[in-house]
Amino acid sequence: MPELTYVEALNQALHEEMARDEKVFLMGEDVAFDYFGVCSGLADRFGRDRVRDTPICELGFTGAGVGAAMAGYRPIVDLRFMDFTTYALDPIVNQAAKLRYMLGGQLSVPMVARIPSGAGLQYGATHGQSLEAWFMQVPGLKVLYPSCAPDAKGLLKAAVRDDNPVMFIEHRLLYAQKTKQDVPEGDHTTPIGVADVKRAGADATIVGIGYQMGHCLEAAEALAGEGIECEVIDPRSLSPLDVETITASVRKTSRCVIVEEGHLRSGVGAEISAAIQEAVFEYLDAPIGRVAALMAPIPVQTKLEKFVLPSTEKVIAAVRKTLGVAA
C-alpha cells in the first residue's frame, strides 16, 4: 500500500475521480495553481474547463456549482477558507441543502464543497474558524471531516460519488504534515456515516473531530504511560453521525471527552454529548467533558491563539477530570 501525506491523498482522490467521471469538475479561487498543493497537476491533466479558476465571488461560484449540479454535473467547489463560506451560505444552506426537498424530489444536488478550515497558523479571527457545527444544523447537508490521509482519500471519493450536497472539511495544519500513512489504492472509498476507532481502550472514550484527532491520540499515548487506557473515536462524518459506535464505546468505558476545534457553545461536542446521554445515560459515571475553542474570536498572537484553542494538555486534563484523577 503506498504511503501518502494528507495533501497527497486528497490530490490522488481528485485525480482518480476526475479521470473516472467526466461530469466531475473543480472550481474555485486559485485552483489551477493551488499553493496548498491539493489540486496539483489537475489543470495540466484535465484542462482549464474542468479545473476552473473563478473570480473572487464565493456566492457566485458556489451558486453556479449548485446550478451545474441541478443540470447533471458533479461540481467540486473549493471555498479556500471556511470563513469564506459565510459569503456562500445562501447557495449552501438555502439552495443546495433544500432544493431536492422543496422541489418534491424532482432533482438532486450532487455538489461537494471542499472547505479548508482551522486555526494554528496565526491567521486570526476571519481566517481560522471551524464552523462545522453550523452545517450539522442543516437538514439536507452531509458534513465530512477526515483527520488522516486514508480517510481523506476514501471520504473525498465517496463525497464526489454521493448524490447529495457534501461539506467536505479539511484542515490547513493537516496540509502541513509531512508524515505519510498507508492509503489504499484504486477504487477504495470510505463509507459516509461510519465512525472509526483509532485506538482501543477501556477506561475512557475520547471523541476527536478532524485535526484535533492528533491531540487526542497524543493525549491517549501520554495517559497510557500512567496506566489510563483511552478509546479514541473519530466520527469522520459529522452528519450523518454514527452515534452507535460512540455509544458502544461509552457503554464500555462509562466516561467520555469530546474534542473539537470549533467554539464550545452549541458545538459538535454539544450534539454528541446530547446523543450519548439520550442513548446510554445509565452507563455514564461522570459528566461528559468537552474540549473546544474558548468563546473568543481566534486571536492572531501566537500565545493568545494557543490559549483559546484545544491542545493535547487540555485533552489530558479533561480526561483526568472525568476519571477524577489528579495530575
Q: How far apart are CA 279 and CA 283, in angstroms?
A: 9
Q: How far apart are CA 109 and CA 164, in angstroms?
A: 5
- Residue 176, interface with another protein (CB under 8 A)? no
- Residue among 26, 31, 42, 70 that touches another protein (CB under 8 A): 70
Which one, 260 or 271, has the nearer CB to another protein? 271
Are β-strands 3-4 and 51-53 bridged in parallel, bridged antiparallel, or unpaired? unpaired
How many CB atoms within 10 Å of residue 153?
28
- Residue 25, interface with another protein (CB under 8 A)? yes
Contact call for residues 293 and 130 (beta carbons, < 8 A) = yes
Contact call for residues 222 and 316 (beta carbons, < 8 A) = yes
- Residue among 1, 19, 103, 294 that touches another protein (CB under 8 A): 103
Q: How far is the CB of 33 from another protein (least distance, A)?
A: 17
Contact call for residues 209 and 238 (beta carbons, < 8 A) = yes
- Residue among 37, 60, 120, 124 that touches another protein (CB under 8 A): 60
> Taking contact as CB under 8 A, which single stretch among the options 38-46, 105-113, 289-297, 313-321 is the one that binds another protein?
105-113
- Residue among 35, 105, 186, 281 that touches another protein (CB under 8 A): 105
Contact call for residues 280 and 248 (beta carbons, < 8 A) = no
Contact call for residues 209 and 239 (beta carbons, < 8 A) = no
Contact call for residues 276 and 246 (beta carbons, < 8 A) = yes
Which one, 51 or 119, has the nearer CB to another protein? 51
Question: Any bridge partners for residue 206, and if so which?
Answer: 232, 257
Q: How far is the CB of 162 from another protein (least distance, A)?
A: 8
> Taking contact as CB under 8 A, which single stretch among the options 122-130, 137-145, 283-291, 299-307 is the one that binds another protein?
137-145
Helix (H, G, I), strand (E, B) or coil at 250: helix
- Residue among 30, 86, 108, 177 that touches another protein (CB under 8 A): 108
Grid look-up 489530558 returns 316
Which one, 94 or 302, has the nearer CB to another protein? 94
C-alpha cell recorded at residue 300 = 492572531
Q: How far is the CB of 158 from another protein (least distance, A)?
A: 14
Helix (H, G, I), strand (E, B) or coil at 43: helix
Which one, 5 or 239, has the nearer CB to another protein? 239
- Residue among 6, 61, 81, 135 that touches another protein (CB under 8 A): 61
Active-site annotation holder among 17, 58, 170, 261: 58
Task: Quickly list H helices, 225-265.
Answer: 243-253
- Residue 91, interface with another protein (CB under 8 A)? yes
Q: How far is the CB of 166 from another protein (least distance, A)?
A: 11
Annotation says 58 is catalytic: yes
Nearest to 68 by CA among 32, 28, 106, 25: 25
Contacts of 47 (CB under 8 A, 6+ apart): none
How many CB atoms within 10 Å of residue 282?
8
Active-site annotation holder among 17, 127, 132, 263: 127
Which one, 139 or 186, has the nearer CB to another protein? 139
Count of residues of this chain found to bind another protein when the rule CB under 8 A is applied:
42
- Give the CA dihedral 290, 292, 294, 300, nearest 10 degrees: 160
Q: How far apart are CA 163 and CA 155, in angstroms?
A: 14
Which one, 105 or 225, has the nearer CB to another protein? 105
Which one, 74 or 236, has the nearer CB to another protein? 74
- Residue among 15, 32, 37, 59 that touches another protein (CB under 8 A): 59
Residues belonging to the active site: 58, 127
Site residues for another protein per CB under 8 A: 25, 49-50, 54-55, 57, 59-73, 75, 90-91, 94-95, 99-108, 110, 139-140, 142, 163-164
